[in-house]
Structure 1
Amino acid sequence: MPENAPAPVDGLEWAANRGMGALAEKMGLRFTEFSVERCVATMPVEGNTQPVGLLHGGAYVVLGESLGSMAANLHAGPGRLAVGVDINATHTRSATSGIVTGVCTPLHLGRTVTVHEIVVTDDEGRRCSTIRITNHVKDLPQR
């Protein structure tokens, strides 16, 4: 590693120090792996369902946006901020119990734009939702 290279970042520690936000905390999200290349989080189905007992579609999106936005901010680095500008989700299966797991991987990591795909699976490893989020990366205002 070159002398002037930044020290490697412990992604889980970075995420814990930053916090995931009140909504993600209320929904029970837990990060289990966190790096620029791959982020993983889990979320319980219980407490996040529609009236008929299926995991709410918006809950999948909260999981996806939490992972994708946090990953984009880790990529952005100090003094920069990533903000979501587009998100879409395709739900292909319904989780009704247990936990779901979201795995976030980058499709594009640019200086001003990031795109991440988040695949959400149930306890049996079956894909339930595929989410794509685009973030705009900008410099924080100078104070």
Structure 2
Amino acid sequence: MSTQEHTTNAVPPERGLSQTLQMTIVEQSPDRVVMTMPVTAYHLQPWGYLHGGASIALAETAATLGAFLNCPPDMVAFGQEINANHLRPVREGMLTATATPLHVGRTSQVWDIQIRDEQNKLICASRCTLAVISSNPRDETNA
């Protein structure tokens, strides 16, 4: 499988949680992923502010896409750990996540993700560690 086929065979972001939270890919490359997500009633916690889980989902989605773009054709990336510092409350608007790699290794990757509001204010700083494993589910080296 070529790198082109590998990249185009990724699960489309229009499915699953990405679709539910209305995430959109703006830019994607092995060195940078930019995604947006609106803040709607579905993204809020009971007190009317952005739910931290929604921003973490955006951060991990951007990091995972970037990590996948750095994987060899027979490998995939899975989130192992993510942390997030929620720095500013948000009630509405469009968020932009920018993910950049801090480490791209053979078996793991670490990505920095910054989420900003429409005024370009940093609302969340996140770091995600991803495992790089075989895309063949029968490969016992994954155990």
TM-score, normalising length: structure 1: 0.86
| Two-structure CA RMSD over aligned residues (Å) | 2.0
SS at match of 2:68: helix
> What's the offset of the Cα at 1:26?
0.4
Q: Which residue of 2 aligns with 1:77?
A: 72
Q: Which residue of 1 aligns with 2:25?
A: 31
| Equivalent pairs, count | 134
1:67-97 alpha-carbon deviations (Å, 9 max, x no partner): 1111111111311011111110000001111
> What's the offset of the Cα at 1:14?
3.5
Matched, 1:108 2:103: yes
CA distance in 1, matches of 2:8, 2:127: 23
CA distance in 1, matches of 2:11, 2:46: 33
Q: 1:43 aligns with which of 37, 40, 50?
A: 37
- Gaps in structure 1 of 5+ consecutive residues: 1-5
Q: Give the residue type in structure 2 aligned to 1:30.
A: T
Q: Which residue of 1 aligns with 2:141?
A: none
Q: 1:18 aligns with which of 5, 11, 34?
A: 11
> What's the offset of the Cα at 1:101?
0.4
Matched, 1:137 2:138: no
Q: Give the residue type in structure 2 aligned to 1:39.
A: V
- Gaps in structure 2 of 5+ consecutive residues: 139-143
CA distance in 1, matches of 2:25, 2:88: 23
Q: 1:92 to 1:80 in 2, by over 3 A?
A: same
Identical positions, percent: 34
TM-score, normalising length: structure 2: 0.86
